[in-house]
């Protein structure tokens, strides 16, 4: 099976009351860890590449690694551009083998967001590629764009029909209280998501797939391990997994996870290096890192997303 778009996987996810995991990939071990978990669980997958990942690993290397994963697993896998910053980057990914792109115009004035999103949709659809748009801004860092807490804004449900109709997007990322990175809430702050906004959005867009960014749960075990083995991370709070499970049963069809993978990988490498200080073969510490990624993704697929057996 070649790379697929998200069209069919979102239709099944919406109807089945589960979500597909969209995991950020930056190198071979991350791709292998994620796809090994999905293969064992027969789960559909979205592997997503940010502007930063393309700069780090090179577009062609990432496409070829993901194509290798498709060949090795036989799973339905979509290759997605995460937070496309402009038309040119989206075009380069559409021309270069991606099956899905996100154009992130969420920090632009509304009409400018519509204009750039519509332009990307026209080009993408002419090439058989699907498009994710975004309305509302998340706090945290989206590639080079840092959004201060006070400037983050929830999606306004009364804009979504107009946005989707005028742009033609295939899915929509909304802001309901998630944010990027490991520090989503201040110490002492109670994590909360605006399920009322999600419900209102899905009433206005029946059957339409919604995307949640910034959905890592920042599993404390990994932060503790990082700190136990020489790290110095302040207390971090993520999105409680029961909230993500609930969102997955609603209109949310795609849940983005990056920070949890970073934490799992870094914790495994720190532990390995602390316990084997004389080792210097990268394969020795990247192997447990890859296994940690596989464990994390297995947990997400089974306990959070509910997409095991749905490939
Ligand atoms: O939303 C951002 C993703 O976690 C990707 O992060 O831009 O550092 O690759 P990055
Ligand atoms: P996290 O930082 O919560 O993992 O979010 C990742 C994300 O939204 C990628 O687009
Ligand atoms: Zn994101």
Which tens digits make up the pLDDT trace of 15-38?
Answer: 999 999 999 999 999 999 999 999
Q: What mean pLDDT, rounded, does the chain reach? A: 95
Nearest CA to ligand 2 atom 3: 214
82 is catalytic: yes
Evaluate if pTM is beyond 0.85: yes
Query: Ligand 1, closest atom to CA 51?
Result: 7
- Please tell me the distance between residue 245's alpha carbon and the centre of ligand 3 in angstroms: 18
Q: pLDDT digits over 61-106, tens only?
A: 999 999 999 999 999 999 999 999 999 999 999 999 999 999 999 9
Rounded to an integer, the average pLDDT of 277-296 is 98
Whole-angstrom distance between the N-terminal and C-terminal Cα of the chain?
Answer: 12
Helix (H, G, I), strand (E, B) or coil at 246: helix
- How many CA atoms are closer than 13 Å to the CA of 277, on its beta-carbon side? 3
Structure tokens at 256: 């983005």
Q: What ranges make up the beta strands (E) of the chain?
A: 20-24, 45-50, 77-84, 100-103, 130-135, 140-142, 145-147, 171-174, 210-212, 252-257
Rounded to an integer, the average pLDDT of 108-124 is 98
């Amino acid at each position: 099976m070649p790379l697929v778009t998200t069209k069919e996987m979102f239709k099944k996810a919406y109807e089945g009351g589960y979500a597909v995991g969209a995991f950020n990939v930056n190198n071979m071990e991350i791709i292998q860890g994620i796809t090994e978990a999905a293969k064992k669980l027969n789960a559909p997958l979205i592997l997503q590449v940010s502007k930063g990942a393309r700069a780090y690993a090179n577009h062609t290397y990432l496409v070829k690694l993901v194509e290798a994963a498709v060949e090795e697993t036989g799973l339905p896998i979509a290759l997605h551009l995460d937070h496309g910053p402009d038309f040119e980057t989206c075009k380069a990914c559409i021309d270069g083998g991606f099956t899905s792109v996100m154009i992130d115009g969420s920090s632009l004035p509304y009409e400018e967001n519509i204009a750039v999103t519509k332009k990307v949709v026209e080009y993408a659809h002419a090439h058989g590629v699907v498009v994710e748009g975004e309305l509302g801004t998340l706090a945290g860092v989206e590639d080079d764009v840092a959004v201060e807490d006070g400037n983050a804004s929830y999606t306004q449900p009364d804009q979504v029909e107009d946005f989707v109709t005028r742009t033609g997007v295939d899915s929509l990322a909304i802001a309901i209280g998630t944010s990027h990175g490991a520090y989503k809430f201040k110490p002492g702050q109670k994590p909360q998501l605006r399920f009322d906004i999600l419900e209102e959005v899905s009433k206005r867009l029946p059957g339409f797939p919604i995307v949640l960014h910034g959905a890592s749960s920042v599993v404390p075990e990994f932060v503790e391990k990082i700190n136990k083995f020489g790290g110095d991370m302040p207390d971090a709070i993520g999105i409680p997994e029961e909230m993500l499970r609930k969102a997955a049963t609603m209109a949310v069809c795609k849940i983005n996870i990056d920070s949890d993978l970073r934490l799992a990988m870094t914790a495994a490498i720190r532990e390995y290096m602390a316990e084997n200080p004389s080792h210097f073969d990268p394969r020795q510490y990247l192997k447990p890192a890859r296994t940690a990624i596989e464990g994390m993704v297995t947990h997400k697929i089974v306990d959070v997303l509910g997409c095991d057996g749905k490939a």
